[in-house]
Amino acid sequence: MTKPIHPQTLFRLRVIGPLTIRADFEKGELKRCLNDMAKHTYDAPPDGRRVVLSSKTIERWYYLWKNKGIDGLAPKERLDCGKTQIAPLVQSHLIQLKKEQPSRSINTLIRHLEVQELVEKNELSRSSVHRFLKHQSLSKQVVNDSHRIERRAFEALHAGDIWHSDVLHGPYITTSKGPKKTYLITFLDDASRLACHSGFYFSESTLALEHALKEALLRRGMPKMLIIDNGSAYRSKSLETVCARLGIHLVHCRPYEPQGKGKLERWHRTVRNQFLDEINFEDIQDLNELNKLLWIWLEHDYHQRSHEGLDKEETPLSRWRKNAHQIRQLGAFAPALDSYFYHRIKRKVRKDGVVSWEGQKYEVPFEYSGEVVYLVVDPHQQTALTIESLKYNTLGPVFLLDRHANCQRRRQRPTTPLPALNAERKKFVQDLAARVDDTSYDITNTTLERE
């Protein structure tokens, strides 16, 4: 029976694969190939984490393979494997402490030994203790049952029952204003693994999240439950309001527990491996171009390909269509859907009937000058629409301030007459008028007389 090949050996062979099929290299060509390969990231065993390898490392593996074949790529066993410099007395105490409480970490074990004065402070290294415990089959840290969180694999019964949403930090793309970082926001159906909507944005703000949700609702109807992250963008009052009006049960994941988002983590890994790694970002000029490529890949590749999390030969799209009759459609919500995503911003109307928002000035009905109102805006279209009272009653539309048009605009004046003057004030006004009409009153002469 042949000996199994070590996973590290297969990984190293996979990395240098493009070099092994070459018979020879021209002068300087091998170095160029090594530098190009060092620019990529690789899925390293055993957990598939993404790693970056230096050109020197890849070169060393290549010559090991060239001189010794596949055996040269096998990881070398330590010469002191199974041996330890830890004193026998300390070894016995380590074993006893670990067996008494399997949840004890290496740092805790070392502190116990230092407190008992069996070793000097900083005398024992973590790596030495770890190798010793591993040789004794005691290295695994066991979590106390009282603190262990029960986790179980789950899947929604029908498509449209549960959606998940999270953000993937995407690549930088070149724009007219220089390189900008992108963020991929996705709404993923639990039962079918279908991406109800996925798009790149220049931020992971509440506004970007709501735009992505609106697109998902228009494309795929309404979920019964939406499981989202616990970040500030997902905790916004406007998002909660939208879900409440549409009858969507909003659930926030617990912080620092990525295990509850396994399907989304797998989706992000697929996006990295099958889409992002295949794109030449030097050719991407704007966000729309990047999203077009993403949507082409989604509709013509990801949604059409069988998924290992589904039944045999079943694709995300076919699984979604199987439950199409059970998915909640927008129906009566459709005409008012835009209004559900409007934002209300508290503003005080100036004396000239103007309010400000996002650097723009808007005129409102003049009778609300000096009052505090809500300015209703469509943040996705960057337009202000109406004003409402603090009790959410519509007060009237708003318009962009046009100072030139206001030059020809007739002003409103109060219709009530001015209050009548009393006798004393009336006499004062008459005396003042008589002095103005008196031609003998010359301000120039009076000034000369004073001089």
Most confident stretch, 42-51, 149-158, 188-197:
188-197
CA angle (358, 359, 363) in 5-degree steps: 95
58 shares a domain with 28: yes
Q: Give the C-alpha separation, 39 to 48, whole Å.
A: 18
DSSP3 helix / strand / coil % (the chain, rounded to 5): 45, 20, 40
Q: Give the C-alpha separation, 181 to 345, whole Å.
A: 28
Closest CA to 33 of 49, 11, 17: 17
Distances (CA, A) of 367 to 109, 386, 399, 400: 75, 15, 15, 17
- 446 pLDDT exceeds 50? no
In 255-324, the DSSP E strands lie at none
180 shares a domain with 318: yes
322 shares a domain with 217: yes
Q: Give the C-alpha separation, 201 to 214, whole Å.
A: 14
Note the pLDDT tens digit of each residue in 307-360: 888 888 889 999 999 988 888 898 888 888 888 889 998 999 998 888 998 888
Residue 148 has what pLDDT?
A: 56
Q: Give the C-alpha separation, 147 to 103, whole Å.
A: 11
Question: Which stretch of DSSP H or E encloses residue 208?
Answer: helix 206-220
From 300, 326, 352, the end of a domain falls on 326
What single-letter amino acid sits at 422?
Answer: N
Residue 320 has what pLDDT?
A: 92
Is 335 within the bounds of a domain? Answer: no
Residue 316 has what pLDDT?
A: 92
Is 156 within the bounds of a domain? Answer: no
Is 334 within the bounds of a domain? Answer: no
Distances (CA, A) of 233 to 185, 206, 239: 12, 4, 9
- What's this model's pTM, rounded to 2 decimal places? 0.59
Note the pLDDT tens digit of each residue in 230-285: 777 788 888 888 888 888 998 887 765 655 678 888 899 999 988 998 888 888 88
Q: Give the C-alpha separation, 441 to 50, whole Å.
A: 97
**Is the alpha carbon torsion for 250, 254, 260, 264 positive or negative?**
positive
Residue 296 has what pLDDT?
A: 94
Domain that holds residue 299: 162-326
186 shares a domain with 53: no
348 shares a domain with 318: no
206 shares a domain with 111: no
350 shares a domain with 309: no
> 267: exposed, middle or buried (C-beta count within 10 Å: 0-12, 13-18, 19+)?
buried
301 shares a domain with 181: yes
322 shares a domain with 248: yes
Is 148 within the bounds of a domain? Answer: no
What single-letter amino acid sits at 102?
Answer: P
In 271-371, the DSSP E strands lie at 343-348, 354-357, 360-363
- What is the count of structural domains for the chain? 4
Residue 1 has what pLDDT?
A: 39
Note the pLDDT tens digit of each residue in 404-441: 777 777 766 666 555 555 666 667 767 777 766 655 54
| CATH number where 185 lies | 3.30.420.10
Residue 184 is given by DSSP the state E
CB 218 within 8 A of CB 333: no
Place of tokens 């090991």: 64
Is 229 within the bounds of a domain? Answer: yes
Residue 213 has what pLDDT?
A: 94
What single-letter amino acid sits at 286?
Answer: D
Is 174 within the bounds of a domain? Answer: yes
Place of tokens 């000034």: 447
> Which of 54-58, 397-401, 402-406 is the least confident region?
402-406
179 shares a domain with 108: no
Residue 441 has what pLDDT?
A: 46
Distances (CA, A) of 272 to 164, 169, 269, 278, 315: 18, 10, 5, 9, 20
Comparison of pLDDT for 431 and 376, the residue scoring more: 376
Is 57 within the bounds of a domain? Answer: yes
277 shares a domain with 391: no
Is 87 within the bounds of a domain? Answer: no
Note the pLDDT tens digit of each residue in 294-313: 999 999 999 998 888 888 88
314 shares a domain with 170: yes
